[in-house]
Amino acid sequence: MKGRLQAVAVAGLGIGSLMFAWVGAAAAALVTLRKGMTEGAFVVFWALLPAIAVLSYGQDVGPLCMLLVSAVAAEVLRSSRSWPLALCAAVVGGLVSALILYHSAQDYLAGILATVQPMLDQLQTQSRGQLPQILTGDIAAVIGSSTVLWSGLALMLARWWQALLYNPGGFREEMWSLRLPAVVTVVLVAAMLLFSQAGEVYRFWGVMCLLPLIAAGLSLVHGLVGRLALGRVWLVVFYIALLLFGPLWAVLILAAIVDSWIDIRRRLPTAQ
């Protein structure tokens, strides 16, 4: 926020480091959130140089996709002031990224598949052939899902930075109140069902539609804990359970879907 040079340096170094690429994307998103599309585009343009270098020499398209999608999502959040729309923009960005890769970069996807094939063969042996054969469309889905996830996290980090600088406590209020409109939930669920029925190539693409539902579910949990003044220990227990029990993710998503229709937080009393 001190100037263009500092913003470009943080974004470029983060994108070029791979491990901290999402931090670099968050820096570009922060400029977009605070100063608008023109300033944000300037930072994104210069951050594209290390992103393209990583793609050319490191054969990793992730930082490039993450940078562009998080910047678009930041602009959507800035202009609409709507987290559901911003998260949906990240989903659309992930889907577009996967689609472009699948139709324009089959050699790239095939190279990744060849790299991980020995591990997949080992898993197939351990499962006695019960796992589905992995296709290049599945690799595109993984890249798209990763783009959605890390772009969403970068946007949240940028919004948290913005709140720390200009509106302390604002990020927590936004996250506690995040709730998907019913129409958005219907579109996301319908998209997942359509992808699941669109053939082998697109069988895992619906996973990209889960991010807004998961974010809304986590927001619901945090909002309930805060509203009822239960204390942070409940959140610690919840996240440990989420890591240990896989079916709890399905319950979280279902809770987000139900909340989009009945607004659970509004129906509960506030702790005195």
> Domain boundaries in the chain?
1-95+141-177, 178-272
Which pLDDT score, from 0 to 100, does residue 36 have? 86
What single-letter amino acid sits at 43? V
Q: Which tens digits make up the pLDDT trace of 106-151?
A: 888 888 888 888 887 787 777 766 677 888 899 999 999 999 999 9
Please give the Cα distance from 239 to 261 (Å, whole number): 25
Q: In the predicted model, what is the mean pLDDT of the chain?
A: 88
What contacts 236, CB < 8 A, 6 or more positions away? none
Average the pLDDT over 52-69 and give the result: 87
Answer for the pair 159, 219: CB distance below 8 angstroms, yes or no.
no
| pLDDT for residue 88 is more than 60 | yes
Which pLDDT score, from 0 to 100, does residue 210 have? 92
Please give the Cα distance from 206 to 250 (Å, whole number): 14
Which pLDDT score, from 0 to 100, does residue 2 have? 62
How many other C-beta atoms can be found within 10 angstroms of the C-beta atom of residue 263?
A: 13
| pLDDT for residue 272 is more than 60 | no
pTM over 0.75: yes
- 117-126, 150-159, 194-203: which has the minimum mean pLDDT? 117-126
